[in-house]
Amino acid sequence: MPHPVDSARHPAPPAIEDGGPGRSPGPYRRLFAPHGALAFTAGNLLARLPMGMFSISVVIMIAGARGSYALAGAVTATGLAATALVAPWTARLVDRHGQARVAVPATALAVLGSLALLLCVRLDAPDWTLFAAYAATATTPNTGGMSRARWAHLHRGDPAALHTANSFEQAADELCFMLGPVLAAFLCSVLFPEAGTLTGAILLLTGVLVFAAQRATEPPVAAHAARTRSPLRTPGMAPLLAVFLATGAVFGSMEVVTIAFAEGRGHASAAGAVLGLQAAGSCVAGLAYGRFRPARHLGRRLLICLAAMTVLMALPLLAAIMSSLSAVAVALLAAGMATAPTMVTGMTVVQRLTPESQLNEGMTLAVTALLGGIAAGSAAGGWTVEHTSTAQGYLVPVAAAATALLLAAAGRTERY
């Protein structure tokens, strides 16, 4: 249902040029045709890159200063749990009051939390201060969700453009989570242990400021936004979030098991590069998927994507049985190609189920489910490799993908 637009602050999206007589523009050219699209995308990518930097930066910083990976892991887990609790409320405020009005102060508070953590580590403050400081970063807004909401506003009524936008956003996520850890590890090792956290905080604040400054592309706030109920109560949303939870377990378990496998083969330093291949495969697949026609039956497409992911996740298991890290790397590259289409389709279903005035909250709920799944998958993968073997640890992502497929089938996603 369309919402009233304040023409002074939120002018209607400009018409997209057709690329000239006899020539139709490509999907990505059409996507970025509206004025301001490139600007807000640049700011959003700048703000999103630190999402792949913070966790590894905090682990390196705390473990190096306190000599305890257990403490570092507990601090990052606390931050993850706090984010899962706070992020949906932050997204709800964004929907009710606007992206710029909420995202900037929320980001400022999160950056202060990162700087406080840095100072606590540097000044050898008590351990409890690390938990308190990092918990404050939970107010970080879901920049990916805000970007997707802008695309939905700019290309409303154009399913093909929205499909391309979701594909691009998923590829951007993979790119940031591929480059972020590499950049963080480089900064922390070459400069000083706190360099990763400091750089991430600066990039986050700068990116959000650039993003929020693009007011012409900001979705308008609906007059009734404050009176709407949570998207969680929308029919079909809870089963879909369960699918996201299981899908997150695929990612979390694959990361832990791969690190353990590489370390067990005496190549611990190669784990990041091996995992980067999975992200690279997903990034390429996401951009290619954006050129396909959008699915008429999203639920059916989601089932197909989940089935493909389940099959491809068996490739690393077979490669691990061969005890070859090179084979595992190639298998992860192939397995990653099923990730982006699955996530793009799932996010599109979320957008279809969520009222336009609550898109940020709806997509943040999906991200929160993913984070919960990542945490559970990490724990399950770690337990499996510790009590069985690293090769058998690859059974966990296969089982998680199969669970996601079964949950999607049981939730009757073909209705979407």
Instruction: Give the CA distances from residue 171 to residues 143, 175, 285, in Å, rounded to whole numbers and listed in that order.
Output: 14, 6, 8
Looking at residue 4, what is its pLDDT?
Answer: 38
Taking a C-beta distance cutoff of 8 angstroms, is the pair 377, 253 a contact? yes
Taking a C-beta distance cutoff of 8 angstroms, is the pair 317, 328 a contact? no
404 half-sphere exposure, CB direction, 13 A CA radius? 36
Which one, of 42, 145, 153, lies nearest residue 103 by Cα?
145
Looking at per-residue confidence, does 311 or 323 come out higher? 311
Q: Using CA atoms, how far apart are residues 131 and 409, in angstroms rounded to an integer?
A: 40
Q: Whole-prediction pTM value?
A: 0.73
Q: Quick check: 59 pLDDT over 90?
A: no
Taking a C-beta distance cutoff of 8 angstroms, is the pair 64, 196 a contact? no
Span 206-250, pLDDT tens digits: 999 988 888 878 777 765 555 566 666 777 788 888 888 898 888
Q: Using CA atoms, how far apart are residues 195 and 206, in angstroms rounded to an integer?
A: 16
Taking a C-beta distance cutoff of 8 angstroms, is the pair 341, 289 a contact? yes
Tell me what the mean pLDDT of segment 283-309 comes to.
78
Taking a C-beta distance cutoff of 8 angstroms, is the pair 359, 275 a contact? no
Span 27-54, pLDDT tens digits: 777 777 777 788 888 888 888 888 877 8
Q: Using CA atoms, how far apart are residues 52 and 280, in angstroms rounded to an integer?
A: 14
Looking at residue 223, what is its pLDDT?
Answer: 56
Q: Using CA atoms, how far apart are residues 315 and 395, in angstroms rounded to an integer?
A: 10
The secondary structure of residue 214, as a DSSP letter, is -
Which one, of 135, 85, 404, lies nearest residue 253 by Cα?
404
Q: What residues have CB less than 8 Å from 153, skipping those under 6 apart? A: 13, 217, 218, 219, 220
Looking at residue 212, what is its pLDDT?
Answer: 86
Neighbour tally for 5: CB within 10 Å? 16
Q: Using CA atoms, how far apart are residues 167 and 341, in angstroms rounded to an integer?
A: 8
Which one, of 276, 250, 208, 259, lies nearest residue 50 by Cα?
208
Task: Label residue 269 by pLDDT band (50, 70, 90).
Answer: low
Which one, of 31, 297, 338, 305, lies nearest residue 169 by Cα?
31
Task: Label residue 9 by pLDDT band (50, 70, 90).
Answer: very low
Query: What are the structure tokens assigned to 393, written together?
Result: 């640890």
Instruction: Give the CA distances from residue 300 to residues 142, 165, 168, 398, 412, in Å, rounded to whole numbers and listed in that order.
Output: 28, 20, 21, 21, 9
Q: Using CA atoms, how far apart are residues 203 and 206, in angstroms rounded to an integer?
A: 5
Looking at per-residue confidence, does 222 or 154 come out higher? 154
